[in-house]
Structure 1
Amino acid sequence: MRTIKAFPMLSAEEEYDYAMRLKNNNDLEAAQKLIVSHLRLVAKIARGYIGYGLPQLDLIQEGNIGLMKAVKRFDPERGVRLVSFAIHWIKAEIHEYVIRNWRLVKTATTKAQRKLFFNLRNMKKDSNSLSPDEVNDIAHELNVKPEDVTEMEYRLNGQEMSIDIQHDADGEESYNPIAHLEAETLEPSAYLEAEQDEQLQSTALMSALNSLDERSRRIIEARWLNEKNNSTLHDLASEFGVSAERIRQIEQKAMQNVKKLMLTTN
């Protein structure tokens, strides 16, 4: 991590110049500059997958492969910063690595079950076990059976490690993982990077939403962008006078369009 942080971040002008040199002249030195300046982004994303029980260095290495693929395909003339473009490729490679190597995923054979696997941790409100109502809500949200949610929660909890002080057989403190967690306060460069990324993502999202038809945009906003209380499929089905399945189809298609447009929108 010290080595990664030693590489300087690039300004927008420097990034554009290196990317154009790579695009027009296949300049590998320029490609290297683009890659090493974004290694901290890979490490940041990889930290989000530590809970799956896989080595962090392996997660970072897979993320680096995604970063290299992103650099190879990056077009600076689209007006989008590399950080926004690379996130998709980095996460895609890490996801594939998790699916190939973590035994719990091998039991999740359907697309819905894999969606449950990758989203259950974030959908839980706290570290406590899910209540029956929460199980039903998550099952409905992800279109899986309630028993699938319960089983996956049990398996995920079985892999977790306490971050509090642990004791050996003699009662002595032997391991304290919480002492090694990253500080919540970001360093200035990381804070600026996160702020810029959030601004770019927000601009791209609004542009993508504006391209949707009125009904599709209403569904996406009600389902995902309502901070207080997101609407259910049945709520929107009643509002538009169609079936819940039809609302799900519209939502799925709209989300696909939004994701595609966010990759290309400035």
Structure 2
Amino acid sequence: MRNKSDSIKKKGGAKKIKEAVIEQVFENKPEKFLLNRENTETEAIVPHKYTRRDESLGATQLYLNEIGFSPLLTAEEEVYYARLIAKGDQDARKRMIESNLRLVVKIARHYNNRGLQFLDLIEEGNLGLMHAVEKFDPERGFRFSTYATWWVRQAIERAIMNQARTVRLPIHVVKELNVYLQAARELTQKLDHKPTADEIAKWLDRPFEEVERMLGLNEHITSVDAPASSEADKPLLETLSDNRENDPEHILEDENLRKHLEAWLKELSTNQREVIARRYGLLGCDRMTLEEVGEVIGLTRERVRQIQVEGLKTLRKIMEKQGFSASLLYD
């Protein structure tokens, strides 16, 4: 029997999720699903046994309900299955994918309202997850969730770049733009209003002109008080995800990343390590402004900024050498 994960991958990133992802995950239970084509706009997938009970059950909720049955793997199980995958074991590959589908959903939530439907974001993220499963080396000592996060984000960001924009942007520009949009989401939750470019610039310690120019590239900026969609009553502000949400995958990923960050930070100079720890709330420190850090360590704001820039450059090189994106620091 042909492996459905492989067939999905060959179709490319432009395909719709609909039957594909559901079948990929639950290929042994096809009788549970029925494609409802009465509504051609949504083309919702509903479980046959629920069709009469709750016709409003959408594809998204169904998918989220179903993937909850796949248990997370322990560190030892990840190593075990990864070694089998390296030998070509397709059952091990399927198990590794299914056990990390919730991680993809958690990451996909951060890209809502960026031009792609939520299910499409999940699908693209699943393609990144599949790639991570094939590339993962268990002998390097990292948890799979930390490694996979980078690949999932790459896949989603490329899909947004290629499918959701009239004018396509280079991937490095999209990554930079994501930093500003992430800051905008954090400030929206903190200030209870849509932040200005000036507020974002101060939050990130970036030049105002640079922030304004980058935000101008985003075609999907809208008022946080406007409806999230044409069919939704809730304003966009109420649909924004809380990046501090303590779901199991988030905690697992943060604890694993924190452990390796401690080792990476030890490779920096004393000043660089202290500045970065205090600026980004690492190593148990509270997040501080440049002025606050300067007061603590007895340096000027400008000198603290210079040390931060130098430290981040060094840290970025260390992380990229080991296959990780420095954008993980901003989540």
Q: TM-score, normalised by structure 2?
A: 0.60
2:314 corresponds, among 229, 254, 258, to: 254
User: CA separation of 1:162/1:239 partners in 2, compared to 1, >3 Å: closer, same or farther?
Assistant: same
CA drift of 1:90 comes to 0.7
Distance 2:215 2:151 in 1: 31
1:61 corresponds, among 123, 146, 150, to: 123
Return 5+ residue gaps in structure 1 as ranges: 167-173, 185-189
Give the letter for the 2:180 counterpart: L
CA drift of 1:40 comes to 1.1
Distance 1:64 1:219 in 2: 36
Name the structure where helix makes up a greater proportion of residues: 1
Distance 2:299 2:114 in 1: 40
Distance 1:110 1:46 in 2: 19
Question: In the alignment, is residue 130 of structure 1 matched against residue 186 of structure 2?
Answer: no
Query: Percent of aligned pairs with the same residue?
Result: 25
Tell whether the 8 Å contact from 1:120 to 1:153 is kept in structure 2 after alignment.
no
Return 5+ residue gaps in structure 2 as ranges: 1-62, 325-331
Tell whether the 8 Å contact from 2:125 to 2:153 is kept in structure 1 after alignment.
yes
Give the letter for the 1:259 counterpart: M
Distance 1:105 1:218 in 2: 41
1:32 corresponds, among 94, 98, 101, to: 94
Q: How does 1:75-224 map to 2 (within 5 A)?
A: 75-103=137-165, 106=168, 111=173, 113=177, 115-124=179-188, 125-130=190-195, 134=199, 137-138=202-203, 141-145=205-209, 147-148=212-213, 156-158=221-223, 161-162=226-227, 175-177=232-234, 191-224=247-280
Q: How large is the RMSD of aligned CA atoms in angstroms?
A: 4.2
User: CA separation of 1:228/1:217 partners in 2, compared to 1, >3 Å: closer, same or farther?
Assistant: closer
Distance 1:104 1:233 in 2: 42
Give the letter for the 2:75 counterpart: A
Distance 2:132 2:171 in 1: 28
Question: In the alignment, is residue 230 of structure 1 matched against residue 289 of structure 2?
Answer: yes
Give the letter for the 1:229 counterpart: M
Give the letter for the 2:81 counterpart: Y
Give the letter for the 2:69 counterpart: A
CA drift of 1:104 comes to 8.0
CA drift of 1:241 comes to 10
Distance 1:183 1:130 in 2: 16
Distance 2:141 2:301 in 1: 41
Distance 2:76 2:292 in 1: 45
Identify which of structures 1 and 2 has the higher relative contact order when contacts are C-alpha pairs closer than 8 Å and 6+ apart. Answer: 1
Aligned residue pairs total: 248
Distance 2:69 2:259 in 1: 30
CA drift of 1:69 comes to 1.3
